[in-house]
């Protein structure tokens, strides 16, 4: 997949190929059609939070606010199917929205 990638504090984002995601048994793969880069991402890009121990490993793809279409579902997913349009206003990382 092509993505705008964070490669270092205060460095320009670079558009490059990244590995396609794989679906977890309890997850989905979404083809992202729109993605917001918010102030949280900006703070990470500037290195503002390194003083409290928050730093991103690189390379990293920003954007935890996105919408798109479900491409694939894991075997344990019950409420979503391929083709569903989804909006994720804030991704918690624990499988819930």
pLDDT in tens, the chain (97 residues): 899 999 999 999 999 999 999 999 999 999 999 988 888 889 889 988 878 888 888 999 988 889 999 999 999 999 999 999 999 877 555 555 4
| Identified catalytic residue from 22, 40, 60, 96 | 40
Phi first, then psi: give them for residue 7, nearest 5 degrees: -120, 0
| pTM summary value | 0.77
| Identified catalytic residue from 22, 43, 46, 58 | 43
Of residues 85, 92, 96, 91, the one with CA closest to residue 33 = 85
Residue 64 is inside which H or E element, if any?
A: none
Q: Domains in the chain, please, with CATH?
A: 2-88 (3.90.180.10)
Of residues 80, 53, 58, 54, the one with CA closest to residue 69 = 80
Which residues lie closer than 8 Å to 88 by C-beta, 6 or more apart? 30, 64, 65, 66, 67, 97
Instruction: Let me know if 22 is a catalytic residue.
Output: no
């Amino acid at each position: 997949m092509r993505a705008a990638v964070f490669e270092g504090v205060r460095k320009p984002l670079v558009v490059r190929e990244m590995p396609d995601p794989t679906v977890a048994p309890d997850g989905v793969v979404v083809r992202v059609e729109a993605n917001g880069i918010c102030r949280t991402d900006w703070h990470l890009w500037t290195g503002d939070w390194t003083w409290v121990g928050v730093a991103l490993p690189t390379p990293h793809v920003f954007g935890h606010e996105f919408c798109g279409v479900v491409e694939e579902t894991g075997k344990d997913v019950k409420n979503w199917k391929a083709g569903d349009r989804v909006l994720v206003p804030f991704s918690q990382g624990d499988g819930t929205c």
